[in-house]
Amino acid sequence: MDLRNIAIIAHVDHGKTTLVDRLLQQSGVYRENERQVERAMDSNDLERERGITILAKAASVEWKGTRINIVDTPGHADFGGEVERILNMVDGALVLVDAAEGPLPQTKFVVSKALKMGLKPIVVINKVDRPDARANEVLNEVFDLFAALDATDEQLDFPILFGSAKQGWMATSLEGPQDQGMTPLFDLVLKHVRPPVVEDGPFRLLGTIIESNPYLGRIVTGRIFSGGLKPNQAVKVLDRDGKLIESGRVTKVLAFRGLERVPIDDAEAGDIVAIAGLPNATVAMTICDPAVETALPAQPIDPPTLAMTFRVNDSPLAGTEGSKVTSRMIRDRLMAEAEGNVALRVRESDEKDAMEVAGRGELQLGILIETMRREGFELSVSRPKVLLRKNDDGQVEEPIEEVVIDVDEEHSGVVVQKMSERKADLIEMRPSGGGRTRVVFHAPTRGLIGYQGELLTDTRGTAIMNRLFHGHAPYKGAIQGRRNGVLISNDKGEAVAYALWNLEDRGPMMIEPGWKVYTGMIVGEHTRDNDLVVNVLKGKQLTNIRTTSKDEAVRLTPPIRMTLEKALAYIQDDELVEVTPSSIRLRKKMLDENDRKREERKKEAEVA
């Protein structure tokens, strides 16, 4: 059977997963009476809740006697490590662009990788049904982007489709017709994407996606470059440098048929398959015939930019809510994650019972913590810190990100002011239609930690921020962090409404009456810049004297709700976030007040 392998690449929220839904529906993957799930490719709970794709996944459809393998990729920059590798196993790419927003940083990042690899993309202008759509302007922006990324003449002559994945139609012009469904897209893929190039020689496959299965063990998905593969065939695994990692036999060969993975008896060169039975094979490794000596060239992975320390939860409430609390369990879980997620780097920390986890951004690390707490883990996490490096001249460099903010014109001034306080350089400012302004900055990664919430507050929730790793630049000096101190509990027990009511003039609270607190736990934000130790357990003194006046009902201001991302962005270097399956608490690293004072004096002495 004829084969085509394509990846769908786009910025987050431009409609990739919805487009795959329509392709699956119109190619007859579902039976007529079968219940169809929205965003079928987003299979795990977190992807469904947040409406984003986190892991790349493959599916396949048949159209006019040709099998098309489709890979849906994440659009968020933090999961860019997935996308770079996917491009190794496809021969074409659908570049999806929102008809209102135009090409955004992640589009630019992935398209540059695709063009370097010689892929000839198909451009799809999606969401033309939006009231603020500006399809023709966006098309010009896409052409300018391709030209700026040094596309060849052949790549610049890209085919274009307009349409709406949500409404289920694509057409070669803006006017339609809209009654042909996805047929124009399928036909264009068959015509424009070349069949897989098959090399001569014995079996070779490059690992691209990895996952673990409770029944089959580790499953590696990749494309077969040459030769064929059958179950029980002897193979060996080579790393990028050609060093032997292991030899073994393939227990199962699975091919994609619709959304399902089906065991097959014979896999041919050019096809994308998943294989089981090799416990040490991972991404960017070559799985090949025992006669092969050289590894296939694999894409190097961009380095991590942020690191966090994951440590054992040692608070007085440790072990009361989670089932997995020991340092060995946390270590094993992080090591297993690092095996499957090549954009993460895990190493033993210098501190006792702690691991340092480095990744691409706050969202990626936040997703990992959220996944672990759902599995029953209890842990405490430090503030994200930026990974600095030294250049050849011995100068310290820090990661810089390209930040694109779309904001209403009336709020653009406050955005520019706040970003300049965070040591960002303004690169471009231009109207983007509909009374909105697009502002582009180059900002240090450490200045962006925790800025998302502040941006939404400053712009009344109307701004959209997109960011992408740009490169390294000389260290830009100190950036002012949180301006307020915190309120810290001085005892262990359950918070009392009367005490919280009395403390309201000290600052907003983060806890509610009846919540368990302990010494050193952060219970609120101080209105001033210093930390204050308070008593949230003190009840009202009751007497046995009757009075005619009734007791006032205690009316409390609603507390600040701390989500995981908000908490990680809020804490300072001497604080931790305690994460359990049912709670997120903030605390001081040193719970005892005297220890904190001693540490402070020591620091002052060092500075002096």
Q: Which residues are annotated as a binding site for GTP?
A: 13-18, 126-129
Beta bridge partners of 20: none
State the first-to-last Cα distance of the chain, in angstroms, to the nearest integer: 76
Cα 176 to chain centroid, rounded: 35
Residue 146 φ/ψ, nearest 5 degrees = -60, -45
The DSSP H or E segment spanning 204 is strand 204-213
Is the Cβ–Cβ distance between 110 and 9 less than 8 Å?
yes
Known binding residues are: 13-18, 126-129
Q: What is the Cβ-side half-sphere exposure of residue 248, based on CA atoms within 13 angstroms?
A: 15
Q: In the 8-state DSSP scheme, what is residue 505?
A: G
Q: How far apart are CA 368 and CA 355, in angstroms?
A: 14
Token pair 């199962």: residue? 252
Alpha carbon distance 128, 170 (integer Å): 10
CB 71 within 8 A of CB 273: no
The letter for the amino acid at 360 is R
The answer to whether the beta carbons of residues 150 and 115 sit under 8 Å apart is: yes
Distance CA 229, CA 212 (A): 21
Which residues, other chains included, contact 499 with Cβ-Cβ below 8 Å and sequence gap of 6+?
Answer: 535, 536, 537, 538, 539
Residues 6+ apart with CB under 8 A from 537: 489, 491, 493, 494, 495, 496, 499, 517
Backbone angles phi, psi at 106, to 5 degrees: -70, -35
In the block, tokens 């897209």 appear at: 185
- What is the C-alpha to C-alpha distance for residues 372 and 580, in angstroms, rounded to an integer? 9
Distance CA 188, CA 127 (A): 19
